[in-house]
Chain A
Amino acid sequence: MQRIPAASVTIVQEEELTRFVCSGAWVISQIDNAAWELERYRPGSAVLFETGGIGAIDSAGIALLQLSVRTFETHGFPAAITGESEEHAKLRDLLYPAPLESSPPQTPPSWLYTIGRTFHRGLEEIGAFLSFLGEAFTLLLLLLRHPAKIRWRSIGAHILATGAQALPIIAVSSFLIGIVVAYQSIVQLQKFGADIFIVDTIGISLSRELAPLITAIVVAGRSGSAFTAQIGTMKITQEIDAMRTMGFDPFTFLVWPRVAALMIVMPLLIFFADIVGIFGGMVIASVYSQISYAEFLHRLHDALALKHYLIGLAKGPFFAFLIAMVSLHRGFQVKANTESIGRYTTISVVNAIFLVIACDALFSVLLTELKL
């Protein structure tokens, strides 16, 4: 087959007929020049393809001839093919048993429809999440009536995975946040000679706002995504269906242990982030403003009212609840194709972080109004 030259078309213009003399190998790898030539050609009369000189032909070659004939005919010029070899004719009959139908792609819907549909979907998603929460709480009441059914071991395992094993990353993140805040504030405070107020800045901003927020974001990225992927995988492998048929309720076995574990662990992680973050600030204060550690701690004792610290810790369970519930809900939404795990994991992390920030804003307004 290699010895046959590439497909070519010689155009012979006669009075009332244009003859295309075809030769060479009309196979997919050698057909492109002929294809472009035919694509560009605009005939002025009837067309005849003389295919006697074609050395080899495959489905691409036949498709090109048939397509050209159809194109010329739609331009209003009759076209025909002569001189087909036996092999050629057989292949054509196989490939074109009937005129090829093609279905036009669907036209994209109007922008108004798209906006409406997106909005409606958003509402449906909220509804689905609320019904998920409803089901979870109904089953929680049932679970609390039979406390023996509580999966303590599972709770323990999730405390280990979402809490203890998250300590290193939380230490690093909150230490760096402590450094960043201290560094930025100290430059401003030094202008007024008010270096010592770095202690107030660090103490209050970290323990009340930044430590809970950073911890929640790390947990959402780390444990929230893991929850979605775990449940999603179980959904795809039909483990969830298997559990349901055996009467193992997924809320008792999968949802509440994770939610409870995260709600227990979150305030502890925030407490840990407080310590490490403030330590980060302390290091910066001693390096840039010669505030010794002892001085810093003494000042912290006066500056940091207990309420700031407690408010920070109190946010923990709320954030944990939102992160766990939204990521588990997304996990249960995973469909039976592997692509959707990745999609829902991404959505779950985005949702969790958004909810955490929205909840934090709500706390901020509420607590300020309450003069706390």
Chain B
Amino acid sequence: MYQYSTEDSKFLVERVDQFEKQLKRHLDGDLDAAKFRSLRLRNGLYMELHAHMLRVAIPYGTLNTTQLRALADVADKYDRGFGHFTTRQNIQYNWIELSEIANLLRELSSVGLHAIQTSGKATRNITADPLSGLTEGEIADARPYCELIRRWFNLHPEFSWLPGKFKIAINGAKFDETALRIHDLGLRLVRNKEGELGFTVYVGGGLGAAAMVAAETASFVPVEDILSYLESAMRIYNLKGRRDHLKKLRIKFLVRELGAEEYSRLVDEDWQQTRDDPDLKLNLTHLSELEKDFALPIKPLALDGFEDKVDFNYSIWKKNNVRAHKVSGHSIVNVSLTKLGEAPGDATSEQMRILADLADQYSYSELRTTKRQTIVFPHVRKDQVFDLWQSLEKYGLASPHQGTLAQIVACPGGDYCDLAKAVSIPIATRVQQRFDDMDKLLDIGNLNINISGCENSCAHHHVADIGLLGMQKNGEEYYQITVAGETLHKTVIGKKLGPSVSGDNVVDAVEDIVNVYLDNREEEEKFTEVFKRIGIKPFKEKVYE
């Protein structure tokens, strides 16, 4: 598995030393709050009224067990024994003392973890398919590219003070588990007619109040030219992006105002000046070294005569949480830490250590974090899945609800977040209570419900089968419903069903929508497929009848 070199680790420590000096100057009154804010966000630190939040990067969602144990230690030593896995594959701590932050970051740097550019107006953590390298039909493992691009934009002199935050995702798999086109910039690995590897580039996606699907700005950028292309894409944004209006800082507004065609033309014009610059060519030697570092630790396994155990609960869990691995004899196992009624993504230090121990035992000491805030064991021998399940079960980590409608993605919402207009987790709990029949859950299958407490859209409600957005109406909590959003095969922003629905009625509305789906479903049709066939009308009629 890939690990930082000595000089990379030294760089992380140098960054901590620098930040420690900045913090000291701020506390001494020599660095004002506005400038310090801009600097501390680039080190992942949010200062709230009573506590400080630190966001630590998990690049492309890949962790080794040493790193996960270090994250558990940080939770115990510097927080209250918790961490929160985010939808962008990071982890957040909510109760950090300023005086301890440098020591915390030094501890993390010793295992190759950091908080650099996890916030602020710069390139954020680059996300990848959590199943990178594991699935059949993949063009290439995205992680070596993520790592090279992450490095390149790490304290980039020209692009560290952009108009707004800049989120990049890279997908090399057949299906899009990364939601590429809701990112500021999405890269899809493709092969051209000659069989050469390159990227299709999408720019200007984003959720929030003005949800937009990113436009394709280049159909094929050869692998070795991607850095110069990205620089040009960012240079046009840096020079022309809106800086005058707080709500229009993201690149999606620039792309919308210029038009995707004009933006693409400007990028291309700039790129023609630099694409032949040898300094900007992606280093293919580094790429092949990284490909070796990220190579899978397993070989095909012939399990002649192996028959999996028969157990009712195991079978239910397995159906929703175990996927085929491209290397024969192995499986991919998904673990949700969330119990019904809890904030998705929260993990105790004890759970982290249990997962680390189990990953040492069953998954070659490797774990992945996902945008559904779950943890993946990437390489489990097929004949050990049952044993792993038993262990997970023992620790309460194998709820059969995982992978069903009951596994709802919800932001912290009005119970925990100052920005929220309405609660999220209590609505999730009520939906879960309404659908508490296991047979029905299994019948419904994989249907995504995402609940955001405000327009910041942290729960990505726009791209769920059923999305709920909290809002205020005459001092009461209401929910706007969107349906049939998706990202897996193509990116579609969900359609608004109609007027928002009160908190009292929203669970009825969700049930109505699910029932219309079930009544109209033919064979194995997914929610979005039924929606495409029958349109919005039957859903509308049922909910607003």
Q: Do A and B come from one complex?
A: no
Residues of B within 8 A of A (CB): none
